[in-house]
A and B are shown apart, each in its own frame.
Chain A
Amino acid sequence: MASEVNTDFLHNKKLDSIAADILRPVGITQGFIVWMGFLGISLMACIYAYYIQWDKGLIVTGLRDYISWGMYIANFVFFVATSLVGMLISSVLGLIGFKWVKPIARIAEIIAVAFAAIAGLVIVSDMGRPERLPYVFMYGRIQSPIIWDVTVVTTYLVISTLLYFLPMIPDLAISKGRIGHTPKWLQKTYQILSVNWNHTPKQYKILLKAVRIMLILIIPTAFAIHTVTSWLFAVTLRPGWDSSIFGPYFLTGAFVAGSAAVVIMMYFVRTNYKLDKYLTEHHFDMMGKLLVLVSIVYLYFNINEYLVPGYKMKTAEAIHLNDLFVGEWAFMFWSVQLLGLVIPILLLLFKFFRKPFPMFVISIVVLIAAWFKRLIIVVPTQDHPFLPIQHVPKAWMVYQPTVVESAITIGTLLLVVIIITVLVKFFPVIPIWEMAEEQNEIDSKSKE
């Protein structure tokens, strides 16, 4: 984002065509109603599953005293991880000055907002006493990493929302006269949200300053959110969690999951809304390179996390690592490491695989693997506490997720999809004014 804005683009003829392209899918369409209907009905089933859990207690899950954190916590970590990409793309890459992130930035922010918003709900689904959630604010102990997590997740959500909203203000002003095909209430919403924007240089100056503050602030916040999430595990004494590199290990893993999520959403937007003019093969190529980069960094942390204790094989660590490498968890462990990390790195080194469709497929595999990777971080450690598990029912010794538990987890994913769908469908998904500004620059350059 440049520090000064040349508002000439407002008079460029191309603005009209860009706005028309980007605003075409905005509004309620048949497809949207069908899709939302499907999501809504599926969500009802998941809400019913949660009702069962509310009524009967967490006994309806596969969790028991020894493996007392399972799918929900893994899902929470996954959500927080995925939402982190908002920071990486719009802030780190944007501030460094990469131009290609411009059309993707808003997509990254949508993912950040959706996943961060639902992460809070995910953690509530794991609570034995969800109705006591206010206690966290009433009696919060600031020594507890959970309180730190609540604080930073809330902060991150607000900053991400601002980073989604602020750069969209000029777009809303540009759009409000051009969305006659949409319902009245949406036009009214645009009117309110565009906060009297009329493209004065002073407004641009204020806006750019505000965005810049948020872009800088989101970096420490994002580091904090995932580092603190990793501390939920790392502050315990358990082998497998008791690791000093958990913060960066989680953080780099987050970028892999988030980048994959962005690619998947880019692909949907590009194909469904025919925006291939703005989300070009070049963008996929760059995202492919980014994915390779973050995956290699993550691989490096994986090697550290497993090789160092694996070399020493301390008693308790050895039990845990044997379980992962050759034991009960070996299949999942190696699948995740290979499909989610090693193979994507190898494939994405070739230009062919960085084309939109191959990228889309690879990203789906990477994202699924990322989810299971969180499960592998959360569950196996609890299989072997320091003292033996004895004199309890056999079912307590292994974690067997139930249908209810899975349904609730799927429900949270549906909520994310719903939020993404709504944001994509009701607001311009690609920054109109930034595209127009860029176009204007190109035009003026070619004139010279």
Chain B
Amino acid sequence: MIKRYFTLLIIVLISMRLSAQVWVAPAENETKKSPFAFDDASRKAGAEIYMTNCKSCHGEPGKNNAVLLVPPPPDMSSVKVQANSDGAIQYKIAVGRGLMPSFKNTIPSTDVWKVISFLRSFNDKYVQEVSKNDGGGASVPNVKIKLNWLKESGQIQISLTAPSKEKGIQPVSAAEVKIFAKRYFGNLPVDEPRNTDALGKAVFNFPKDLPGDSIGSVQLLAVLSNDAFGDVKVDTTMSIGVPTYRAPLNEQRAMWNVVSKTPIWLLLAYTIAVLGAWGFIIYVFLQIRAISKEGSGKDTESAA
């Protein structure tokens, strides 16, 4: 009993200590606004993202079914959460703290805004302020991302361009770009996120030992996350990985493999033993027949 109270006390103390440290987003994030207006489509998309990424801890908003962790993950419809500005929520999802993981590498920023759109649907008093950069629609300037393989240095060079009404096609500078290598279950970050220079270019180091497919192809994903442009992604395949072919794990003969992959020595030993033993047994059965043949027709009683 005492032990239980004691643990309770610890839980309370820890959670007080953590909740005492108020989580404040930096000022520049605090005032960030969504590049697009929240509508039914964004709410719906946000709900889907929320259900796969957030529900496992936070539960469904308004249902108070969050997982019992210490400190407890807050319900997203609560006053405490909703008191945050859009920018603050965006920051907290991206960066994380303690048990709350950082999602900046796994959920693109547009998708984070969609999640916020979904969360705000639980707040009747919410009125959205949309970023001034954008007229309210989700229209994205026609930014082009090009990837180049710099063979000598083993790096990937990226160039960003966007058409402009006045000057034709122009490089996009000071934009943050991330590159990922696609893997079976997720995207592996390649190098750190980099900002494009004045020429709209950035150079990423590519690991020398990253396995590609059987001919070394690696699927790359370049993502431009920018409040002004929204998310721009480009998908390319380059033969820059280590060609990797590894034999199926059940290829060799082994005791644990299927019958057709029996070790030869076992197959031989078993077959020889069985054939040998049963050969003699059959021979003896034939001898019984021989005995019977030998005695047939003769007077069986004479001897006895």
Q: Which residues of A contact B (CB under 8 A)?
A: 7, 10, 139-143, 148, 151, 155, 158-159, 162, 166, 169, 173-174, 177, 194-200, 202-203, 206-207, 209-210, 213-214, 217, 220-221, 224
Contacts and interface: CB of A to CB of B under 8 A. Distances in A.
B250 interface: no
B228 to A, nearest CB: 53
B303 interface: yes
Given A7-B303, A217-B277, A196 B296 contact: yes
Contacts of B255: 143
Given A155-B277, A197-B291, A203-B294, A143 B300 contact: no
A148 B293 CA distance: 36
B270 A200 contact: no
For the complex of A and B, 5 pairs with smallest distance between CB atoms? A196-B295, A195-B292, A199-B303, A210-B287, A198-B300
A207 B291 contact: yes
A439 B304 CA distance: 17
Chain A CB count within 10 A is highest, among B256, B263, B296, B303, for: B303
22 contacts: A7-B303, A139-B259, A142-B270, A143-B255, A143-B263, A143-B266, A148-B270, A155-B277, A159-B281, A195-B291, A196-B292, A196-B296, A196-B298, A197-B300, A198-B298, A198-B302, A200-B298, A203-B291, A210-B288, A213-B283, A220-B277, A224-B273
B277 A173 contact: no
B27 interface: no
Given A159-B281, A213-B280, A198 B287 contact: no
Contacts of B161: none
Contacts of B238: none
Interface in B170-216: none
B35 to A, nearest CB: 49
Interface of B: 255-259, 262-263, 266-267, 270, 273-274, 277-278, 280-281, 283-284, 287-288, 290-296, 298-304
A142 B292 contact: no
Contacts of B287: 206-207, 209-210
A10 B295 contact: no
B290 A206 contact: yes
A6 to B, nearest CB: 13
A210 B282 CA distance: 11
B267 A142 contact: yes
Contacts of B288: 166, 169, 195, 210
A174 B304 contact: yes
Given A196-B294, A209-B287, A142 B259 contact: yes
Contacts of B302: 198
Contact of B259 (A140, A207, A213): A140
Given A142-B266, A207-B291, A173 B300 contact: yes
Contacts of A143: 255-257, 259, 262-263, 266
Nearest to B283: A213
Chain A CB count within 10 A is highest, among B255, B283, B296, B304, for: B304
A203 B292 CA distance: 9
Nearest to B295: A196
Contacts of B301: 177
Interface of B is mostly: helix
A200 B297 CA distance: 13
A338 B52 CA distance: 65
A197 B291 CA distance: 7
Contact of B291 (A139, A148, A169): A169
A206 B303 contact: no
A47 B87 CA distance: 75
Contacts of A141: 258-259, 262
A295 B258 CA distance: 41
Contacts of B290: 206
A361 B224 CA distance: 91
B123 to A, nearest CB: 41
Nearest to B254: A143
Contacts of B293: 196
A195 B285 CA distance: 12
B186 to A, nearest CB: 30
Contacts of A220: 277
A197 B295 contact: yes
Given A142-B270, A206-B290, A10 B304 contact: yes
Contact of B304 (A140, A158, A199): A199
A173 B296 CA distance: 13
Contacts of A199: 303-304
Contacts of B270: 142, 148, 151
Contacts of A159: 277, 281
B304 to A, nearest CB: 6
A196 B304 contact: no
A210 B262 contact: no
Contacts of A224: 273
A196 B300 contact: yes
A210 B284 contact: yes
B265 to A, nearest CB: 11
B259 to A, nearest CB: 5
Nearest to B278: A155
B295 A162 contact: no
Chain B CB count within 10 A is highest, among A10, A142, A158, for: A142
A158 B303 CA distance: 30
Given A196-B300, A198-B302, 6 more contacts: A148-B270, A155-B274, A155-B278, A177-B301, A198-B304, A213-B283
Contacts of A213: 280, 283-284
Contact of B277 (A7, A197, A207, A221): A221
Nearest to A191: B300
B291 A196 contact: yes
A199 B299 CA distance: 10
A252 B72 CA distance: 64
A162 B281 contact: yes
A198 B295 contact: yes
A218 B281 CA distance: 10
Contacts of B299: 198
A199 B301 CA distance: 10
A200 B294 contact: yes
A141 B262 CA distance: 8
A72 to B, nearest CB: 26
Contacts of A209: 287
Nearest to B302: A198
Contacts of A139: 259
A340 to B, nearest CB: 32
A159 B276 CA distance: 13
A55 to B, nearest CB: 33
A58 to B, nearest CB: 26
A57 to B, nearest CB: 28
